[in-house]
Structure 1
Amino acid sequence: MARVYRFMEVCGTHTVNFFRFGLRKLLPPEVELVSGPGCPVCVMPPEEVDFLVEVARKPGVVVCAFGDLLKVPGSKGSLREVRAQGGGVRLIYSPMEAVHLAASEPEKKIVLAGVGFETTAPAHAVALLEARKRRLRNFFFFSALRIMPPPLRALLSDPELALDGLLLPGHVSAVIGSRPYTFIAEEFGLPGVITGFEPRDMLEGLARLLELARSGRPTIEIQYRRVVTPEGNPWGKRLLKEVFRPVDGRWRGLGLIPGSKLALAPDFEEFSAEKTFSLEPKPLPEPPGCACGKILRGQKRPPECPLFGKRCTPETPYGPCMVSSEGACAAYFRFAESENP
């Protein structure tokens, strides 16, 4: 029987595109793909959603958030439900929209919900710099921004997770470069390939990862060379260092991970939504029966969740992995609904 190689596609866009482009059908039987924690709203713990829901229900407050976040359920409902009830929720496509809103409506308190990884964090940093430049006193920021390398270390430290390599996210790596991933090879003896998002990129990256795993060569390589360099983007990294600081953060399914979240640097704490509204998100348990945590850890496939396609669908999501366009459950539901567990 042929040896099976188990690879994790860290990025949610990789998960979706392997389905969307029909690439899974091209894979040999010796290659198994599992999803990872690369979906920003999927890894938000429920208490962060509850914080935004509670703030959005306050009079004179508008929470500005990206589309996927609106549907993520917390224990107190979702931002979409608050908006339907007349609460202050605004769908945005850029963090700068929240800055412009604060400038045009000074009588309201505008809260920007910062969600994403190193890919989108620089855009949030630019928005905060602009808010400080304009001296906006009604603009506030709630950070659910996260850093990608720390959860990978946490995952690989789990003896129950048997992986042979990782397909690493191209967009995150465009900012941070390839060097922050060297611990994967040096400490855990596994190869990793930073891969783009076109079909050819993904197949080339996966083929190279398989070659490295077969030959027992733990190293980090860049397939996405037209975008990613070993040192990353100096401007983007400088922005992150100026505006944010790494702190310990809770991840859905992964628990508390040291240095995995971006909080406001001391010079920007005047924009802190938590301090302004005197609310501190309290850790909450996962929704009963939801397997999102195990799916984000690569321990389960979405069809193995008893709620998948029944209580939990894209229209009525029970867990965040079914909400986001990058969520593994949404990808399986849309492209492989008939797949057997």
Structure 2
Amino acid sequence: MKYIDEFRDGDIARRIAERLQAEVDPSRQYGFMEFCGGHTHAISRYGVNDLLPANVRMIHGPGCPVCVLPIGRIDMAIRLALDHGAIVCTYGDTLRVPASGGLSLMRAKARGGDIRMVYSAADALTVARDNPQREVVFFAIGFETTTPPTALAILRAQREGLNNFSVLCCHVLTPAAITHILESPEVSRYGTVPLDGFVGPAHVSIVIGSAPYEPFAAAYRKPVVIAGFEPLDVMQAVLMLVRQVNEGRAEVENEFTRAVDRQGNAGAQHKMAQVFAMRPAFEWRGLGEVPHSALCMRPEFAQFDAERRFDIGYSAVADNKACECGAILRGVKKPTDCRIFGTVCTPENPVGSCMVSSEGACAAHYAYGRFKDIPVRASA
């Protein structure tokens, strides 16, 4: 398959690995954060870490949209279904994220909530059209990748006069999270981790382009290389980062030129700006309150804002004390550092959000066997 098979070539992977081994400085350590969960998945699935030099460490970042969703936001969606009788539509991974009181959206559905899995915001519009006497809420999550389709759904609902449709907006922004990882005092309790650069997200960058990372790279002297999701994409990006570090550069480079350019998708950006405004702050799981890191609806679309429509407030909820998702999302710990990983917490019985989504660091490690080399621990 074109643009897939050629980026999974084992011989080329070994040649890149040899180039990396030749170019790394053996006297230093390199730490690179792959921000996007798709990269975490590729690294685990294809054993990329096994091909990297011993002094090159890949660090998981908060690039899984399901993983960074705080418990309080899931509680809001559950209240809409159970207390307000709304039909709540959302993506499949969101259904299984643990919430308060032993609930999840899936368990709330078992208690009688009308909660439905959809594949897109357009699917939620269809549900609203088919149920004109019911309130239908789309629980919208994700980074800039999934934000334009939500904007289009709201614009279409306005055009069609779908007055029973609204959105619980939990869309978050990538550049703000990258900055927050390095400088925010709110996450100091999780410690710090040495970072020499970032593997920039692929799908997000298709929408926003590479330009938004340029001020970040210049201000914090951290190189960013935008990479595709195939194993050779990731390995080539790591090689490009190593070269930048060795040469003392901190620039934004684009490995994923077959899909990303500097300006991004202007049409998608226009629709986002038309419908959404910046929130002053938004809580991320593991990162705490992050300023200017999420979106809300502009006043002219207030009738489609579920938070205003149903007057539901947000309350922060602490994570399970045994779960290390917060530290893992910060890059401070690895999934195998969590004492309940692979024992109490599994994809079938997730305790934390990182084990729910296939893009989550814990789920990726579990699925591809990286958990098998840790000692068996007693159940917590």
- Relative to the length of structure 1, the TM-score reads 0.97
Structure 2 distance, partners of 1:52, 1:42, is: 16
Q: 2:179 aligns with which of 143, 146, 153?
A: 153
Normalized per residue, the structure richer in strand is 1
In the alignment, residue 49 of structure 1 is paired with which amino acid? Answer: I
Q: Corresponding residue for 2:316?
A: 283
In the alignment, residue 88 of structure 1 is paired with which amino acid? Answer: D
SS at structure 2 position matched to 1:9: strand
Gaps spanning 5+ residues in structure 1: where? Answer: none
Kept in 2: contact 1:4–1:31 (CA 8 A)? yes
Structure 1 distance, partners of 2:362, 2:197, is: 22
Structure 1 distance, partners of 2:314, 2:76, is: 6
C-alpha distance 47-12 of structure 1, shift in aligned 2 (>3 A): same
Q: Corresponding residue for 1:192?
A: 224
Structure 1 distance, partners of 2:322, 2:349, is: 15
In the alignment, residue 337 of structure 1 is paired with which amino acid? Answer: F
Q: 1:303 aligns with which of 336, 351, 357?
A: 336
Q: C-alpha displacement at 1:290, in angstroms?
A: 1.3
Q: Corresponding residue for 1:134?
A: 160
Q: Corresponding residue for 2:86?
A: 61
Identity of counterpart residues, as a percentage?
40
Structure 1 distance, partners of 2:122, 2:83, is: 23
Kept in 1: contact 2:85–2:113 (CA 8 A)? no
Q: 2:273 aligns with which of 210, 218, 241?
A: 241
Q: C-alpha displacement at 1:59, in angstroms?
A: 5.8
Q: Does 1:33 pair with 2:58?
A: yes
For residues 167-221 of structure 1, the C-alpha deviation after alignment (integer angstroms, 9 at most, x for no partner) is 0001101111111111332111111100011122111111111111122111110
Q: Corresponding residue for 2:244?
A: 212
Q: Corresponding residue for 2:299?
A: 266
Structure 2 distance, partners of 1:29, 1:334, is: 23
Q: Corresponding residue for 1:102?
A: 128
For residues 61-107 of structure 1, the C-alpha deviation after alignment (integer angstroms, 9 at most, x for no partner) is 11001000000011131001012223110000011011111111111
- Relative to the length of structure 2, the TM-score reads 0.87
Kept in 1: contact 2:225–2:254 (CA 8 A)? yes
Structure of greater Rg: 2
Structure 2 distance, partners of 1:101, 1:170, is: 31
1:215-230 mapped onto 2 (5 Å cutoff): 215-230=247-262
1:4-15 mapped onto 2 (5 Å cutoff): 4-15=29-40
Structure 2 distance, partners of 1:238, 1:305, is: 42
Kept in 2: contact 1:5–1:30 (CA 8 A)? yes
For residues 221-279 of structure 1, the C-alpha deviation after alignment (integer angstroms, 9 at most, x for no partner) is 01111111111110011011001011121111111111101101111111111122221
Q: C-alpha displacement at 1:161, in angstroms?
A: 2.6
For residues 96-149 of structure 1, the C-alpha deviation after alignment (integer angstroms, 9 at most, x for no partner) is 011111111111110000010000100111111111111111101101100000
SS at structure 1 position matched to 2:162: coil
Structure 1 distance, partners of 2:99, 2:27, is: 44
Q: Does 1:171 pair with 2:171?
A: no
Q: 1:113 aligns with which of 139, 144, 150?
A: 139
- For these two proteins, the number of residue pairs brought into alignment is 341
Kept in 2: contact 1:303–1:339 (CA 8 A)? no
Structure 1 distance, partners of 2:232, 2:41, is: 15
In the alignment, residue 105 of structure 1 is paired with which amino acid? Answer: N
In the alignment, residue 261 of structure 2 is paired with which amino acid? Answer: T
Structure 2 distance, partners of 1:184, 1:190, is: 8
Structure 2 distance, partners of 1:61, 1:288, is: 32
Over the aligned positions, Cα root-mean-square deviation in angstroms equals 1.4
Structure 2 distance, partners of 1:295, 1:71, is: 19
Gaps spanning 5+ residues in structure 2: where? Answer: 1-25, 185-190, 376-380
